[in-house]
Structures are given as structure tokens and as C-alpha cells.
Structure 1
Amino acid sequence: MSHFSIAGLQLELSNQDNFHFIEQEIERVKRVFPWVDMVVLSELSTFGTSTKLAQPMPGPAEQRYCDIAVKNKLWIITGSLFEQAGEHVYNTSSVINPQGEVVTRYRKLFPFYPYEKGVTPGEHCVVFDVPEVGRFGISICYDQWFPEISRSLACMGAEVILCPTLTGTIDRELELAIARTNAVVSQSYFFNINVAGRLGNGRSIVVGPDGQVIHQAGEKNEIIPIEVDLNHVRRVRERGVLGLGQTLKSFRDSQMQFPAYQPQAKQAGALAALGPLKKPGE
């Protein structure tokens, strides 16, 4: 089976406990679009942006999502919640299958420093398999600004990249361009699902592996049900984008050792001269 249906939930949310509303919206999706196989929530949509509401994992919040997955026979990507793990807080997305099992968790590799204070970066790229469908990858919001992540996920076999986001700032227009770029350079579907309402400015976007914008949302509450075709991804990777650039094959075959990725590159030269990572004016 190469077809799989994913609904992005761009919800108008407040910076508080939104769990009951989210549960109602998931149930509405399954009722209105019974063919949907997976729902993807936005970053920090459940409890908002306060690290004081960080949750243990496994824990009661994650278990509630597991119960919702079983009830509605859906894969659920929880967007993200702040995860309390010992002394550390991570920005973590859980991947839950229709049997209510946590298949994997992904910790955001690039917290939005210097604004996302008190959050520890994750250490691993994460992919997971949907049996008899294909391989999916996860990134979270600011991760999309680092093309190394999408390229790494593609090299790990991801054919769909799911990127829950929370953006309410004036750079949303730039992220729309970045989403298209991530899709085409990784030759994968790219789901960038943002929050609406008080927390975010919406404009979620879904892009195909050839860079085509499949849907771009407005700024209000919107359910985005999209059927992906993984055979289309495989065709694009085989023949090239628009029958032209076979990016992943060229990357695979290159012998180039990129200077930016050498251990000394971050600590010397141009990057070292940039100064400390802090808010402008501090």
C-alpha cells in the first residue's frame, strides 16, 4: 500500500491546557473524514509554552493520547509537549500507533535559542515505519531552519517529514519558503503544521516531494486532510525532481568532505567571530 492519509490540525489555541478541545477536534476529524489514518498536531499545542507544565514520559498526558489513538483507530503525532526527564526539560513529540503504543519519541534538536530558555536539545534524528506504507521522519519547528536535519532524515529513509510548528512571528513567510526547500532537497513530503489563534499565526503548509504546494492554510482553525502517495516519492527519487535533479543520488555519490562539518569549523573562523547567542539588545 502506497497511499496514506494524514490530517494536519491547525487549531486556534490559547497558552493553557487545550487537551479537551484537541480531543474533540481529533474525534471530529475521524467522524468527518473516516478515511484519515494519522493526525498531526502543532508544537506545544497541548499545554502551551510554559516549561512549568513539563510532563514525564511515559506519563498521564502521553497515556491520554494513547487512549485517544485507540478510540479513534488513528496514528497520532502529539505535536510536542515539554518533557521532564530528571533535571532536563526537552521539547518532545510522541509517535503513537492505532494500538495505543508509543512507537518512538523525538526531542527537538534545535530549541529556539535564545528565546526557548531552559530547554535541552535532543541528540538524535528519529524515523519510524508505518507497516506496509513507508518510513516517516520527525522534526519540530526551528529544526526546519537547519537543512542538515531534513537531509539526514531522507538519508535514513524518511519519505514523509512531519514538522509540528509554533510560529506567531513575522518570519512565517520565510518558513513557507523553507518548507518547500526542505521538501524538494529531501525529495519527500513535508508537513509543516502551525498553531493558530493566540499562540500562532497559522498558514500551515503541505508540500510534495517535487516542491509542489499541495495546500497552504489560512490563519484560522483548519483541518488539513491530505492523502500522500509514497510511490510518488519513490518515482521522484528515481527519476529526479520534474525529471531533472536526482539530489539524493548525487549526495550519496559525492566524495566531498564538507568543511562546515569538520570538528574545528564551529570553533574557529567565521562562525567563531559571530559572538555569543543572545537576544539583540541584551
Structure 2
Amino acid sequence: MESYFAAAVQMTSTADLEANLEVAYEFVGIAARRGARLVTLPENFAFLGLEAEKLEQAARIAERSEKFLHTAARDWQVTLLGGGYPTPAEGTAKCYNTALLVGPDGSELGRYRKLHLFDVNLPDGNTYRESDSVVPGHELVVVRTPALGNIGLSVCYDLRFPELYRALSAQGAQVLTVPSAFTAFTGKDHWRVLLRARAIENTCYVIAAAQTGEHYARRQTYGHALIIDPWGNMLADAGDTPGMAIAEIDPGRLAQVRRQLPVLQHRQLP
């Protein structure tokens, strides 16, 4: 693992697929020009509209998203994560919520299907039923790269399940990615706390791309894409407007924290 810069992109995606991809391409280019070698896009980067529209267009969204990720990674010579786009689930009328990691040569490095689905009734009056349109995945994914380290993949609501990240760190993860579209209501109280906790518990870097602002009807997201070091320090925060957080991923810092707090060696439970 080498020292490198990573970017967590922050977008306000809508139901306009092509417009979203155009914005995402521009952000990947900006991140690359600023020196980022790992660029992460948020959940729903390609499409954030009504669930019925998403299901109707799932095959097209999947095809365009994956073509975009392969092309953008090659064009800008970065490792690119597109976290959270629908891919049809064979044998059902639903889809997976998929995150894809692509190398700078355009090759697929890892594919993760979101395990935990967002089915909640929030006190602000909003109800979310991700399981109405999404099938959960069942596999953990840690992508091992010589230059960027071991990258553990997750998506948004997964953040609330610490056992997932402990399992990823037990499999060698050094960097945890959490591309998200966190609601504005929950984000203000939980987003930073949970991300810092996952970093501290597992002595890992955490890179959390985010959605921000108003997308449709009452759908509003929190923003604040973050990069956090293994001690829990917030290295970069994108605020509440479209943009990005960029920070250095330093293997020396990772090793230092793991020497000082060898919690991964002290685990007693499986």
C-alpha cells in the first residue's frame, strides 16, 4: 500500500440519468486533476427518483452506469467506485443495489450488493421501503490492491451495522468505503458519529461519498461527504453543497494507529 489521495464526491442527483452521469464525469475529472487516485461516487449517483421509475428503468440505468464507470476510470486513470445503482435481480421483478469498483485500466475489481435495506418510518413523516424494489446481497467484499490497500465495500444503510465492518476488517480491510444518500433527518444526528465509530472501531480509513440537497418531492439528503482517519479524525468534509472531500490515505498513519491501539489483535468474539 502506498500513500495516495482519495476523493469522496458529493452530488445532488435527480431522475435525469444522463444529466447525473455528465455531472459525475466532471467531478471525477476534477478529483483526478487534484491528484486523487481513488474516487468514490455516492449512492444513487446515476439516478435518484421515484422507486417505480427506478424499477422501470433498472436495466438501462445499470447498463449506462457500468459503461460510465469503466469509461471514466480509463479516461481519468483513477480507481473509481460507483456506489449504489440498480442492477436487475434475475428471477424477480426487483433489483440489487450494487456498488462497482473499477481500476484505471477499466477492469472490474469488485462488485458488492448492499446487504441491509432501508425500511423505516421516520419521525419527520417520511417512510422508506427499499425492500419493495431491492433484493439484499449476501456477500462481503474486500478488494485487495497493491497500491491502494485493501478496500472494504458497503453502501449507506449498512453503516448502522457494525458487525459488517468488523467482518471486513477481519478480512484485512484497511480502507472502508460508504457511498451514501443519507436522509437529512437522520444525517444531522447520526452521520458523523457512525462514520467516526466505524473508523475508530476498526482502525481503518473511512471514505464516505454523499448525496446532498433536494432531489424530488420530500426526498432530501444530508450531504457532508467525509474522509476519516483510523483515529477518528475528520480529514475532509464536503459541506452541504455539491463538491467533494479530498484527503491523503497514509499507510504510515494506519500502521501507527494500529500499533497504538491493536484492537483487531485483541478481539475475543468471532
Place the TM-score, normalised by the shorter chain, in its bin.
Answer: 0.7 to 0.9
Report the counterpart of residue 42 of structure 2 in structure 1. Answer: 42
Note the residue ranges of structure 1 that are not aligned, 5 or more in a row.
241-245, 258-282
Aligned partners of 1:67 and 1:212: how far apart in 2?
33
TM-align CA RMSD = 1.9
Q: Please tell me whether residue 208 in structure 1 is matched to residue 208 in structure 2.
A: no
Q: After the TM superposition, which residues 45-60 of structure 1 pair with which residues of structure 2 at under 5 Å, given as runs?
A: 45-49=45-49, 50-55=54-59, 59-60=63-64
Aligned partners of 1:58 and 1:52: how far apart in 2?
12
Contact 1:205 / 1:216 at 8 angstroms: preserved in 2?
yes
Aligned-pair CA distance for 1:55: 3.1
Contact 2:236 / 2:246 at 8 angstroms: preserved in 1?
no
Report the counterpart of residue 151 of structure 2 in structure 1. Answer: 136
Q: Secondary structure at the match of 1:219?
A: coil
Report the counterpart of residue 24 of structure 2 in structure 1. Answer: 22
Q: Please tell me whether residue 231 in structure 1 is matched to residue 252 in structure 2.
A: yes
Q: After the TM superposition, which residues 140-151 of structure 1 pair with which residues of structure 2 at under 5 Å, given as runs?
A: 140-151=155-166
Aligned residues: 247
Report the counterpart of residue 96 of structure 2 in structure 1. Answer: 90
Aligned-pair CA distance for 1:169: 2.9
Aligned-pair CA distance for 1:58: 7.8
Using the size of structure 2 for normalisation, the TM-score is 0.85
Identity %: 25
Q: After the TM superposition, which residues 1-282 of structure 1 pair with which residues of structure 2 at under 5 Å, given as runs?
A: 1-17=1-17, 18-31=20-33, 33=34, 35-49=35-49, 50-55=54-59, 59-86=63-90, 87=92, 88-114=94-120, 115-116=129-130, 117-172=132-187, 173-199=189-215, 200-240=221-261, 246-251=262-267, 254=268, 256=269
- Summarize the Cα distance change of 1:236–1:56 in structure 2 as closer, same or farther, 3 Å threshold: farther
Aligned partners of 2:259 and 2:179: how far apart in 1?
28
2:83 aligned partner, one-letter code? G
Deviations 1:163-209 (A, max 9, x none): 00002331102121010100000110111221113242212222110
Note the residue ranges of structure 2 that are not aligned, 5 or more in a row.
121-128, 216-220
1:168 aligned partner, one-letter code? T
Using the size of structure 1 for normalisation, the TM-score is 0.82
Aligned partners of 1:198 and 1:77: how far apart in 2?
23
Q: Secondary structure at the match of 1:47?
A: coil
Indicate the structure whose relative CO is greater, using CA pairs within 8 Å and at least 6 residues apart: 2
Deviations 1:132-167 (A, max 9, x none): 341110110000000001111100101010100002
Deviations 1:70-111 (A, max 9, x none): 111011101221111312410000000000011110000101
Single out whichever of 154-163 and 76-85 deviates more from structure 2.
76-85
Deviations 1:44-63 (A, max 9, x none): 11122423322379844302
2:23 aligned partner, one-letter code? F
Q: After TM superposition, where is structure 1 displaced by more than 4 Å over at least 4 residues in a row?
A: none
